[in-house]
Amino acid sequence: MSSEPAIALTGISKRFGPVAANRDVSLSVAAGSIHGIVGENGAGKSTLMSILYGFYEADAGEIRIAGEPRRIRSPADAIAAGIGMVHQHFMLVETLSVVENVVLGAEGGAFLKRGVAKARAALAKLSGDYGLAIDPDAIVGELSVGLQQRVEILKALYRGAEILILDEPTAVLTPAEADQLFALLRALKAQGKTVILITHKLREIMDVTDRVSVMRRGEMVAHVATAETSPPALAEAMVGRRVLLRVEKQPRERGAPVLEAVGLSCRDGRGTETLKDVNLTLHEGEIVGIAGVAGNGQSELLEVLAGLIQPSRGVIRLGGQILATADRHPARLRDLGLMHIPEDRHRSGLVTAFSAAENAILGYQHDPAFGSGPLLSPARIEAHAREAFAAYDVRPPDPALKTAKFSGGNQQKIVLAREIERGPKVLLVGQPTRGVDIGAIEFIHRRLVALRDQGVAILLVSVELEEVMALSDRIIAMCGGRITGERVAEQADERDLGLLMAGVTDEAA
Amino acid sequence: MSAAPVELPRWADIALVPLVSVVAALLVAGLVVIGIGENPLEATALLLRGALGSAEGIGFTLYYATNFIFTGLAVAVAFHAGLFNIGGEGQATVAGIAMAIACFALPTLPGFLAAPFAILGAAAGGAFWAFIPGWLQAKRGSHVVITTIMLNFVAATLIVYLLREVIGKPGSMQPETPDFPASAILTPMHQLLAPLGLKLPSTPLNSAFFLALMALAAVWLLIWRTRLGYAIRTVGANPRAAAYAGISPAAVTMVAMAISGALAGGLAVNEALGVQHRLVLDFTAGYGFVGIAVALMGRGHPAGVGLAALLFGVLYQGGAELSFDKPAITRDMVVVIGGVLVLFAGALDGLFRRLVAVVLGMGRTP
């Protein structure tokens, strides 16, 4: 281990048109340490890592790897410099085996056999060194998400990575899997590898890193030793002002049941059962949170309740009335007072190519308020947006601006304003704060609690367990399309919920 | 990671980029002209004089432009719904058949209703022929690109059969219908404007030109000012968001295709009802395919479609004059110029956007 820092960046700047994504950024990462980088969305973390991994070239600045100045113009340069990256969305071929994925791009010659044999031996050694038990012949698509992530890490190590960058690695993991990942990161550190962890979960930073750097608006605003800081201090550095990490919430008596699902099952296009016999009741004035690892039926539950997909079995009652097939349609459900903030605002909640004002009427384009007869009135649509954006603090409050140009938080506020302003009876909320900066998270959480206090029944789906625990009155855990348990929020703890999310039900325990 | 699309000011996006594309295309075409031993400047001058230098030239240019407006709009409307309708030829063919049937089957209409009825027949025929692939895509998942091409061939065969066996002129060796009733014929422009004291030479330009201008305005209204247009654009930009908003992508696909086909029917109106006054074989003459280029160049906006249609009108008319004066430059050369235009304005659009961005100092691209 040399005394030189593993990575030393000095004066890195990168502009995209008029936007300075990185401004005079300097960063020093000690060899053999775990270094955290935190910052809000758009703070420039991803750009900085993309520069380090060769996706972009910096306009100015210097990169030194282990003391050597380096030009990194492509990922191939980065790999040659000993940098490996584990992306948030895995870059794996699902139909190939583990060992085939590991050699992919490093096959070493025209024929596979030798490369594969070499990789198999190397894998066995790596697995031994770091306690990474994995079957080299397993098909990647059949592995759990946690194991797929290990394949990504193995891929990087096989290519000789001394420095490993992980981008939001725990977003898809159960708490237990996240703990295993952290154990692995510590093992890597013990072997002298350097790890850079990009995350927005402050708890992880506190748990696993040695030092942490905070970015805000393209600049580095703090470098601190993790032991000398605290989550509130980091949050303040990220946002530039004091923020409330807890959600203020008064206890409230829940009202009558409004939305009931009985024996709900659902199959996807391939015939796999994605929901299995789900029973659920939502009452007026309560927030019910669904805890679960992504891909365990929560999305399907939201989509079935919102009328976007049809259940294969089961009954849904809204306000005591059984919903007929014709009623289980998004437009009809909106009329009945069931509004939906979808999990993925880019894929379904917004048309990013439209102006913000046009998005503020998505789903309500037939409302007579926005025009007369078959015609829409641009003036009225704009006036409506102006009003809504003022009420929900959408910045910039420019209805004509293309929606893609708003930050994640402001896009989410546009969706929120649209679905809340009409006074829903039931609100389905998916990942309300995904890709949203801390300031906006605070705002969105306060709005949701205010709605619950007004008597709205809210179903909250979030992969952020902390968010579910902070907002919910009741928490339902899901695993494999089934409800595995229910807890009153005050009595829930993370370990207990983690077990339920992993499929360990009360009966089995 | 893909490079972010270059953002340009609106004026540059609408006017400057297409202009740069056209100039670049003309330069390349000029090289080809030099290659065959002619002077490109002289050729350009001849082309422009032929297209715009006389009242007669302008008449022909606008007549061609009328065809391109209809077929360009047809492609543009489908585009907004995320559909690539390459079946303009077939839709115009079936529109012509339906129009002929409307003209001959119901000859008892009062005179002033005959032309509108024939036009409605054309629209209905085109809409029907485009609805089929729309339905196939919406309900069966068959891609419209494939089915519209296939239906072009079906329509081409259908018209041969019908002209020979069913609606053809009795005793004629030509595959054509008898002349349409005089009441259904669209007035030629030189007759139409004569009462205003305007003396125009006789050209194929007829009142279908005004219908084309109305179609431009109507499509603008439809796409940007109606609830249906909002639904069409939503489905085109993000079908999942459309489903979330309670808009049925399947229904919009079928409706947009039908509207697209009806617009392609305008080609039959201009050609058969306005110029030839009867239905002849192959009256579509490739205008349906040029419509794709027109819509691409016009960026799907009716104003752009109008300008691109005019440009192609100039090329067609000027090209005809040019090949008359310079036998070395054949009609095929004009097709080459058109092809280069499509290549530069459509396929290589991004290249010039980047170039324009750099020239305007809009910053480097990643």
Domain of A72: which CATH number? Answer: 3.40.50.300
Q: How confident is the model at residue B110 (pLDDT cuts 50, 70, 90)?
A: confident
CB atoms within 10 A of CB A271: 7
Cβ-based burial of B277 (10 A; exposed 0-12, middle 13-18, buried ≥19): middle
Name the range with the highest mean pLDDT among A241-245, A262-266, B42-46.
A262-266
What would you report as the CA-atom Rg of chain B, rounded to the nearest whole angstrom?
21
Contact, A216 vs A240, CB < 8 A?
A: yes
Return mean pLDDT, chain B.
Answer: 90
| Domain end residue (candidates: A209, A239, A269) | A239
Same domain, residue pair A277 and A229? no
Q: How confident is the model at residue B88 (pLDDT cuts 50, 70, 90)?
A: very high
Comparing C-alpha atoms, which of B127, B114, B123, B125 is closest to residue B186? Answer: B114
Phi-psi region of A82 (alpha: psi -120 to 50; beta: other; left: phi over 0): left
Contact, B65 vs B290, CB < 8 A?
A: no
Q: How confident is the model at residue B227 (pLDDT cuts 50, 70, 90)?
A: very high
What confidence tens digit (pLDDT) does each residue in B165-197 have?
Answer: 898 888 888 899 999 988 889 999 999 999 988
Q: Is the pLDDT of residue B78 over 90?
A: yes
Q: What pLDDT sits at residue B362? A: 56
List, in order, residues 6 or more apart from B150 with CB less than 8 Å away.
none
Mean pLDDT of A139-150: 87
Q: What pLDDT sits at residue B366? A: 37
CB atoms within 10 A of CB A243: 14
Return mean pLDDT, chain A.
Answer: 89
Q: What pLDDT sits at residue B6? A: 57
- d(CA B210, CA B189) in angstroms, rounded, equals 10
Q: Is A50 on the interface with B (CB under 8 A)?
A: yes
The total domain count for chain A is 2
Does B226 contact A18 at a Cβ distance shorter than 8 Å?
Answer: no
Contact, A211 vs A36, CB < 8 A?
A: yes
- The DSSP string of A309-365 is S--SEEEEEETTEEPPGGG-SHHHHHHTTEEEE-S-IIIII--TTSBHHHHTTTT-T
Same domain, residue pair A235 and A263? no
Of the residues A88, A308, A348, A401, the best mutation for testing chain B's interface (the one with the most B CB atoms within 10 Å of its CB) is A348
Q: DSSP code of B247?
A: -
Same domain, residue pair A44 and A103? yes
Whose structure tokens read 């205010």? Answer: A450
Whose structure tokens read 């796999």? Answer: A272
Closest CA of chain A from B224, distance in Å: 8
Same domain, residue pair A188 and A265? no
Same domain, residue pair A166 and A287? no
Mean pLDDT of A275-280: 95
Q: Can you read off the two tokens belonging to residue A167?
A: 């981008």
Contact, A390 vs A398, CB < 8 A?
A: no
Q: Can you read off the two tokens belonging to residue B74?
A: 């047809």
Same domain, residue pair A231 and A282? no
Cβ-Cβ contacts under 8 Å, B238 against chain A: 347-348, 350-353
Same domain, residue pair A213 and A264? no
Q: Can you read off the two tokens belonging to residue A238?
A: 């990220």
The residue of chain B with its CA nearest to that of A419 is: B245
Residue A246 domain-assigned (yes or no): no
Closest CA of chain B from A403, distance in Å: 13
Q: DSSP code of A62?
A: E
Residue A382 domain-assigned (yes or no): no
Distance (Å) of CA B151 to CA A435, B97, B140, B289: 46, 14, 16, 14
State the Cα angle at B96 between B94 and B100, rounded to 5°.
115
Q: Is the pLDDT of residue A507 over 70?
A: no
Cβ-Cβ contacts under 8 Å, A374 against chain B: 226-228
Comparing C-alpha atoms, which of A106, A165, A143 is closest to residue A133? Answer: A143
Q: Of the ranges A4-13, A97-106, A200-209, A239-248, which one carries the lowest mean pLDDT score?
A: A239-248
Residue A262 domain-assigned (yes or no): yes
Same domain, residue pair A104 and A185? yes
Cβ-Cβ contacts under 8 Å, A56 against chain B: 1, 366
Q: What percent of chain A has pLDDT over 90?
A: 55
List, in order, residues 6 or more apart from B186 with CB less than 8 Å away.
B115, B206, B207, B208, B269, B270, B273, B274
Contact, A259 vs A281, CB < 8 A?
A: yes
For the four alpha carbons of B230, B235, B239 and B243, in that order, the dihedral sign comes to: positive
What confidence tens digit (pLDDT) does each residue in B17-68 have?
Answer: 778 888 888 888 888 889 888 898 998 899 999 999 999 999 999 999 999 9
Residue A374 domain-assigned (yes or no): no
Q: What pLDDT sits at residue B365? A: 41
Element (H, E) at A485: strand A482-488
- The DSSP string of B30-63 is HHHHHHTT--HHHHHHHHHHHHHSSHHHHHHHHH
Residue A473 domain boundaries: 257-354+425-501
- d(CA B325, CA B104) in angstroms, rounded, equals 42
Residue A372 domain-assigned (yes or no): no
The residue of chain B with its CA nearest to that of A361 is: B245
Q: What angle, 0 to 180 degrees and rounded to 10, lies between the N-to-C axes of helices B249-268 and B111-135?
A: 140
Does B238 contact A342 at a Cβ distance shorter than 8 Å?
Answer: no
Q: What pLDDT sits at residue B2? A: 36
- d(CA A185, CA B87) in angstroms, rounded, equals 58
Same domain, residue pair A76 and A146? yes
What confidence tens digit (pLDDT) does each residue in B306-339 have?
Answer: 999 999 999 999 989 988 888 888 878 777 877 8
- d(CA A264, CA A482) in angstroms, rounded, equals 10
Does B238 contact A347 at a Cβ distance shorter than 8 Å?
Answer: yes
Name the range with the highest mean pLDDT among A46-55, A178-187, A261-270, B55-64.
B55-64
What would you report as the CA-atom Rg of chain A, rounded to the nearest whole angstrom?
24
Contact, A6 vs A181, CB < 8 A?
A: no
Q: How confident is the model at residue A57 (pLDDT cuts 50, 70, 90)?
A: confident
Q: Can you read off the two tokens belonging to residue B128?
A: 């029907």
Same domain, residue pair A105 and A203? yes
Whose structure tokens read 């996807």? Answer: A268
Say which amino acid occupies A509: A
Measured torsion, CA atoms of residues B307, B311, B312, B314, in degrees rounded to the nearest 10: 130
Mean pLDDT of A14-22: 80
Q: Can you read off the two tokens belonging to residue A49?
A: 């890592």
Q: Can you read off the two tokens belonging to residue B179?
A: 């002349």
Mean pLDDT of A5-19: 87
Residue A152 domain-assigned (yes or no): yes
Of the residues A55, A303, A376, the best mutation for testing chain B's interface (the one with the most B CB atoms within 10 Å of its CB) is A376
Cβ-Cβ contacts under 8 Å, A376 against chain B: 225-227, 229-230
What confidence tens digit (pLDDT) does each residue in A97-106 have?
Answer: 999 898 887 7
Comparing C-alpha atoms, which of A252, A273, A255, A251 is closest to residue A263? Answer: A273
Same domain, residue pair A128 and A16? yes
Same domain, residue pair A307 and A454? yes
Cβ-based burial of A488 (10 A; exposed 0-12, middle 13-18, buried ≥19): exposed
- Interface confidence, given as ipTM, is 0.86
For the four alpha carbons of B173, B176, B181 and B186, in that order, the dihedral sign comes to: negative
- d(CA A222, CA B130) in angstroms, rounded, equals 62
Residue A217 domain-assigned (yes or no): yes
Of the residues B1, B227, B299, the best mutation for testing chain A's interface (the one with the most A CB atoms within 10 Å of its CB) is B227
Bridge pairing between strands A194-198 and A34-39: parallel
Q: Is the pLDDT of residue A174 over 90?
A: no
Residue A95 domain-assigned (yes or no): yes
pTM of the model: 0.83
- d(CA A349, CA A267) in angstroms, rounded, equals 23
What confidence tens digit (pLDDT) does each residue in A370-411 have?
Answer: 999 999 999 999 999 999 999 999 988 999 999 988 888 889
Q: Is the pLDDT of residue B5 over 60?
A: no
Q: How confident is the model at residue B361 (pLDDT cuts 50, 70, 90)?
A: low
Helix (H/G/I), strand (E/B), else coil: A211: strand
Contact, A153 vs A134, CB < 8 A?
A: no
Element (H, E) at B113: helix B111-135
Contact, B73 vs B261, CB < 8 A?
A: no
Q: What pLDDT sits at residue A334? A: 95
Q: Is the pLDDT of residue A241 over 80?
A: no
Does B244 contact A358 at a Cβ distance shorter than 8 Å?
Answer: no
Q: What percent of chain B has pLDDT over 90?
A: 64
- d(CA A329, CA A316) in angstroms, rounded, equals 12
- d(CA A292, CA A484) in angstroms, rounded, equals 10
| Domain end residue (candidates: A239, A274, A309) | A239
The residue of chain A with its CA nearest to that of B363 is: A17
- d(CA A199, CA B122) in angstroms, rounded, equals 61
